[in-house]
Structure 1
Amino acid sequence: MIEWLTLLQILVAVVGGAIAVMLGLIGRRPSDLTMAFTGVVALLLIVQLGVAIASPIMGNEPSGSLLEFYIYLISAILIPFGAGFWALLDRSRWSTIILGVACLAVAVMLFRMSQIWFIQGA
């Protein structure tokens, strides 16, 4: 993992999640903005997967369990895709809220992944 990339991912996920939840609470349906934030979160997670595969090869070993880290990462990758699929099927304000909650859940999972990678074994 790269620390600045993880912080960027958390920031994008929190901002996107907060915007989507607020828009959903005022009754807005899923829009290009909320879907774009969810898509960027998913794209950054795929980049993180590539970094997580290459990092141990380059000597950047996690301090915690690599298996636990990958379980979090694969689960986090599935969340925005599932939420985006839901938003495409159900075009209600609740889908916008689900997009926001999905982004916020990914932010929490990224924080935990950073703990596993950087802090856990120390």
Structure 2
Amino acid sequence: MSVLFWLTTVVGLISTAVCLVEGIRGRIPDNLTVFSVLAVEVVLLVVVVAALIGSVTGAGPRGAAWEFWGYLVTAALIPPAAVYWSLIERTRWSTLVLAAVGFTVFVMMARMLQIWEGQAGL
């Protein structure tokens, strides 16, 4: 799971940087910003599959499974919601909302990694 954590972190923070720069430049959401957020979603779907496989094979979270899955489902819903928002409200503020996705997913993945490895709470 730690490899997927780092992959999600890298993709998420790159997406955040791209969207933040474009938002500061006053740009509305475009293919670059939307696809960077969709890349975060693709990585999250890989995490979902890996977590399902891990749980079925007995290598699931050492912490509370309900908490892990709650974080994961919520994290997987954030990118599509932000993209939907950016397609409806085509302003520079939507681009900044897209910038928040990668960082938000990073924070949630950090907590999911703690739960997966059975570490104490934040």
TM-score (norm 1): 0.92
Structure 1 CA distance for aligned equivalents of residues 99 and 50 of structure 2: 25
Describe the superposition over 1:21-75 as per-residue Cα deviations: whole angstroms up to 9, x where unpaired: 1210120111111111110111111111111111022231312111100000000
Counterpart-to-counterpart distance in 2, 1:61 and 1:38 = 27
| 1:31 counterpart residue number | 30
SS where residue 62 of structure 1 aligns? Answer: coil
Is 1:64 matched with 2:63?
A: yes
CA distance in 2, matches of 1:22, 1:118: 35
Aligned residues: 120
Residue 77 of structure 1: aligned partner? 76
User: Is 2:7–2:43's contact at 8 Å kept on the other side of the alignment?
Assistant: no
Superposed CA RMSD in Å reads 1.2
Deviates more, 1:30-39 or 1:57-66: 57-66
Q: Which amino acid aligns with 1:6?
A: F
Unaligned runs of 5+ in 1: none
Partner Cα separation in structure 2 for residue 28 and residue 77 of structure 1: 25
Identical aligned residues as a percent:
36
Of residues 16-25 and 72-81 in structure 1, the stretch that sits farther from structure 2 once superposed is 16-25
Unaligned runs of 5+ in 2: none
Alpha-carbon separation, structure 2, partners of 1:40 and 1:102: 11
Partner of 2:11: 12
SS at match of 1:61: coil
